Amino acid sequence: MTGLSRQRDFEGDRKLATPSQRDPQRGGDRRSLTYQETYICPVCRHGQIAALTLMDAFACDFCRHIFTANLPEQSIHVEDSSQPMTWRWNGVNWKAANQLDMDLTIVVWLVGLALVLLPPALIWLSSHTFPPMRGSTWAWFPTVWISLTFLTHFAFVAWLLAEHYQVPVYVTCKIRLRNAFGRQ
């Protein structure tokens, strides 16, 4: 008996833990986009966006991005980001409404691939053309140098892609770091 009521309490807690997912007045899981409610931020997926007083805009309490809203279309547009992005509210979650600039995306991917592949290939080519003497002290050097070159360039390109796509985990980490170093 006590176990059962504890189970019920636990389930009640779980329901209370996700109030943003539910609309008690309508009894459904869906709710529309209005200035009276708060929603999860589509950029950082961490903070909550709430309407700014006397303005037709939302702001996030974590990443501080500002969004203008289009209530008839149930969409918001981020105003202070390098990437012009729009999301549509489907009643439960945000869906990216506009595609990123395709030309820029293609350039980012081409540059990324070239940066990851070309430098290690060049080093491999030179070490293959003039191989170190077998058994010499520095015979390991080309392999290590190629691996290091690949890893550092890969890390740089990963950062480039995270910045281009504004990956939520990346955005959250960036803001955490910025806050930790006190540069608001």
Which residues 103-132 are close enough to bind Zn ion by CB under 5 A?
none
Q: Is 59 in the site for Zn ion (CB under 5 A)?
A: no
Q: How far is the CB of 55 from Zn ion (least distance, A)?
A: 17
Tokens of 93: 């979650």
33, 39, 41, 153: residue in contact with Zn ion (rule CB under 5 A)? 41
Q: Which residue lies nearer to Zn ion by CB, 137 or 184?
A: 184
How far is the CA of 164 from the CAs of 47, 59, 81, 145, 170, in angstroms? 21, 21, 11, 29, 11
Identify the three-state secondary structure at position 89.
strand
31, 39, 59, 63: residue in contact with Zn ion (rule CB under 5 A)? 63
Q: Which residue lies nearer to Zn ion by CB, 49 or 116?
A: 49
39, 58, 62, 89: residue in contact with Zn ion (rule CB under 5 A)? 62
How far is the CA of 169 from the CAs of 30, 52, 76, 82, 126, in angstroms? 25, 25, 20, 17, 39
Q: Is 78 in the site for Zn ion (CB under 5 A)?
A: no
| Alpha-carbon gap, residue 117 to 154, rounded angstroms | 9
Q: How far is the CB of 182 from Zn ion (least distance, A)?
A: 19
- Sign (positive/negative) of CA torsion 69, 44, 95, 33? negative
Q: Is 44 in the site for Zn ion (CB under 5 A)?
A: yes
The footprint of Zn ion (CB under 5 A) covers 41, 43-44, 47, 60, 62-63
